[in-house]
Each structure stands twice: as C-alpha cells, then as structure tokens.
Chain A
Amino acid sequence: MPFRLSGPVARVVLAGLWWLLSPCAALSAGDTLRVLAWPGYADADLVAAFEQRSGVRVEVTLVDSDEALWQKVSDHDAADFDVFAVNTAELRRYIRSGWVVPIDTRAIPNLSRQMPRFRALDQIPGIVHAGRPYAIPYTYAEMGLIYDRSQFSTPPDSIEALWEPGLRRRVLAYNGGVHSFSLAALALGSDHPFDVRDDDWTQLAQKLIDLRRNVLTFYTLPDESVQLFREKRVALLFANYGSQQVQLLKRAGVDVGYAIPREGALAWLDCWAITRGARDVPLAHAWIDYFLEEGPSAALTTRQGLANTTATPSGSESQRLIWLEPVEDAERRNRLWARILSGDNLKRVMQP
C-alpha cells in the first residue's frame, strides 16, 4: 500500500507551516485583487512580482473588446472586479453609470514619472468628471494600417485602402462595433467620427457592409490577427492594437510596414480605473502605482510594442492622432455591428 502524506492532519500541518513561512503572513493573505485587463497589460511575471510585494493574490481576467469589458464591469453592479483597464473614450459611460470611483492621486506617487501631457488629467477628454479624476493613463496606441511590404509598392496612405476592391479578401479588420463606425466615418471624410448624426447611420452601415464584403475576416485578438496575416497572405490590416501588432508580426518574421493614413489614426488611451465594488481600494491604487514603475512600463513597450505614459516615443509627432472619445451611442453601434458581422443586409441591419 503506498503511504502518502495526505491525511487531513498532514494538510493542516503543511498549511500551518506555509502560513508561518510565508513572507506575507502578516497581511490579509485571503485577499484577492480582481483585475480586468487586455492581453499584454498584466503579464504573469509582473503580476507575480506584485503579488509577492503586496502579499495578495491577483486574479487577472482578460477582455478582447470594449463590449466584453462593459459587460463584465457592469455585471453584478461592478462588484466582480476591483480594478480594470479602460480607454478614455469608454470611461465616460462607466462614470455616468457610477461603476467607477474617483482616484486618489496622492496614493499614486509614480504619477510624477509620467509625461506632462498625461499628468494633466483635465486636458484629456473623459477622465475628469466634476473635478475629480476617475482613471490614470497607462498606455496608448494609435490604430494605423499594417501592410505587407511585398504586396505594396508604396505604403497605403488612406483608410480607403481597406475598401480597395483589388485587395478583396486580403484585408483584415477589427471586430468591434464602436471603432468600426468611427473608422467608417473617417473613411467617409467625417470630422466628428465619435458623434454620428441620425442621417449618417445608413451610410455608415452600408460602408461597413462594404467593408465586410472586402475583408477576409474580422479578428478580435492580436495573436489571431498575426496568425491570419501570416497564413492567409493578407495584404492590409487595420491595426486596432497598433504597434503591438506590428511588433508581433515582425517577431513572427513577416515583412510588414506601418502607416498612419492621411485621414488620421484613431488612438486610444488606456487607463486604470477602480470599480465601485472594489473590496480594497488602497490595494487597487497600489496596483496602478506599480504599473507606472520603470519595470512594468518598459515591459509594456519592449514586450507588447505599446507606448507607455512615462517615456516619449520616437517620431510620430507630426502624425495626426484622433484620440478616442465617447461615442454618441455605443449600444446602437454595437447592435448594428452585430448584425453587420452576422451578414445581414442593409435593410435588416437598419431595422429598429
């Protein structure tokens, strides 16, 4: 009979020993920080370092779309998560719905490491409400166009390239309702891509149906886009994740170029925000502060190709970046987008 150290007594003893030896025994070891983040934002080693420092367990949940993020945060009155990464455009509706609480900037000493444009929180649309900041910028990226150098003699200079019939079924676009409508608006020459007027919906929907007919498919995650790009000889990619995807593709050995179209590139700024249901608000602040340190900030850039808020990137000052803003009706955009994605025709898409 093989004898194992498995009795309940042994387990209790081991648990006791573990508790005594654990460096965080003094801290509330039972706590868990529940983080909702995007891929690449909270790598396991960074999380582990934070866990070791704070003595709490961190549970990271990944999201791949704004809709999924909204769904998860708003579920159960924002009680499922403590801290989450959200872009400035999305943040407003979270503030409006009361899912987030103001940030105590004094509890985040590393704010002083940030570049001036990110320190001036009131200059960034959507962060400050009633004089109080609700998020801390963490990373940002512009949504340029990635192209296969072997299939382009000159870099694409317009968003319209995505609709180019010559590239039919060699284009990859992002599966997201809010951005897609902004993208379509930019393509149609609109100067208010985040504020679609009633008259414009049909035109935009048709533009997106046209896009659907020109793309190979819509991706959601960076890795997925890289795999499709490589395997399906894709020529052009709308880079929702920006330089992150460029870096992934280059690492995968694809000869790609990155272009900011003349219409300008949508750019998102992701911030950390704290939910109303956060169990341990100081801990959530500590999490935010930690990710503004040099290590995690540098990791963001070197590993993910994402710009961090503590260092100035090279070049790209002259390029036109259109910071994402809250859209007029995200729900409507998503509802219409789901129909477009499912393959409905214009009539069915525009049904009430």
Chain B
Amino acid sequence: MAVNSAVRAKQMLEARELSHAKKGIGWGLLSGATWGLDGVILGIGTAMAPFTGGASLYAAPLAGAALHDGFAGFFLFFYNLFTGKWREYIRTLATKPGLIVCLAALFGGPIGMAGYVLGINMAGASYALPITAMYPAIGAIMAVFILKERISWRTWLGIVLCITGAIIVGYAPPEGSSPYFHLGIGLSLLACLGWGMEGVLSTYGMDMVDPDIAIGIREATSFVVYFVAILPLAAGLPIFFAAFGAKSLWIVALAGFFGGLSYLAWYRALNMTGVGRAMTFNISYALWGVFFGWLITKTPVTPALLGGALLIFCGTVLATTNPRELLNLRKR
C-alpha cells in the first residue's frame, strides 16, 4: 500500500511538472501570435496623423514606440492590480533583482527599439531586418554562457529555421545606399544585442522576481526613458503630444494592449521554458504577422512570404517538441 502511494505520488509529480512546462510553451506561442497582431495594428495606427509627419525620419516611429510601451505598461498595471500583485512593484524595485529587470528594460526598450528604428532608416530594411532578426541566436548563446541553460540540438535547429524564415518574410530589396549605411548596420547590431541581453538579464532577474511584475516594471521603465531621454533627443515630443486627441491614439492603445499581453506571455515563457525556446516562439510573430496582415489589411501573401512562414512553422515545431526537456532548464 505504502509502495503504491509512493509510486502514485511520483507519477502525480511528473504530471504536474510536465503540465508546468507545457503551459510555458503555450505562453510562448501566445506571445508570438499577439506580437504579430500588435505589429499589424501598430502599423495601421502609425500610418495615420500625427505619425506621418515629424522633424526627422525617426521621430514618428519612436513616438509611436513610446506610446505603445506606455499603454502596455498601463494595461499591465491594471492586470496586476486585478490579480492583487500591485504592492509587489515597490517591493521589487527595492531589491537588486528588481533593478536588474530595469536594466533589462533599458536594453530591450529604448536601446533595442531605437537601434532598430534608426538602423532601418540609415541602412535600409533589407539589411537592418535580417540583422535584428538574429536576436534569438544571440540570446540563446548568451543564455548558454551566462545562465548555463540547456539547449538541445533540435532547439538550435529550430532557432536557425525561425531566423531564416523571419529574414525571408521581412526581406525588402535594397533601396540605394545612404551616407550613414555603416552606422545603420552598427545600430542594427546594437538592437540585436539589446534584445538578446534583455532576455538573458530579465530571466536572471526573474529567477527571483515574479514575471508579471518584471514585465510591468519593464514597460514602465521603457516608457519613462523614451519620454525623458529618447523623445527629446529625436524631436519626437511634438508628435507624442499631438497624438492625444487624434483618432490614431486609440489604435496605438489597442496595439499597446496586445503588446502588453504579448510581453506578459513572453516573460512567463522566458521563465518557464528558458531563453532559447521563448525567443524562438516569440520570433514566430513574423509568421503571425503575415496571417494577420492578410486578414486585417489584405496584404497579399506572396510565395516568398509563404516560404518564410513555412520555415518559421517548422522551426517552431522543432523547438516545441518534447516538453520533457524543459523539466530542468539549467545545467547545475
């Protein structure tokens, strides 16, 4: 009898741990899907006034990004208020792991996003997008060294397929050379490093910080830095303020809602499935972007888009299979 119950307890434990790992995969897939939807909606919003003007080429995209992160942070705060976690913001910020999350926010929000926007403007999307799309590989390599994360050869293959697919989906023919071409390439690399670093640092911080609070802090920090540092430098404040009262604000707010949900799902997945895998799921947004673009804005699906989407699908499946690998995320 006692032996029986011991065996049963072990089985129940295994089932519970497996279900935890599977939930992590679910969060990762949700993060990719909502990020794709977010991108399509944000694209609609920022194609309208006042985002079509601006003192510089990158003032409007940065103002849009600031509003997006601001709304996402706002929605996340309400979510945490609703789940009874709001007191955790201050408690967490009073600890060093909380400050590590803030540092991760700087890498991912302003540094990653500004590098991405400026890189596209200076070097052209055909060079900047493939470079920035490599962030899961950078993140996974850093996770192996810094977090001692276990990543199987199948997951590596999945990462490579997803990146290749994202590059094909995002590819645009070169538009002629810009005088700032090399600076643009450098800034794209900075974005890639920034996003990779965000994943590793925030996962390290989240070993001790609740992911729901970590992402709330991340979005709020990102918004504040945009508002006090990036927007004044990029002459983006006039557009930021002009957006209040414009119809496009509501569309950006809706994008911010899906962005908040996507980030919440991403941070949970980072914590539950590890950096390498969560980033692979996250980059599947390129696939979802094709789908939602076709559904909402009637963007035509070309053979190249389909091919890229198929690669992303295969890569995601490779990274998803066998949740048992997720029972122990790190080598210790």
A and B are partners in one complex rather than unrelated chains: no
A residues lining the B interface (CB < 8 Å): none
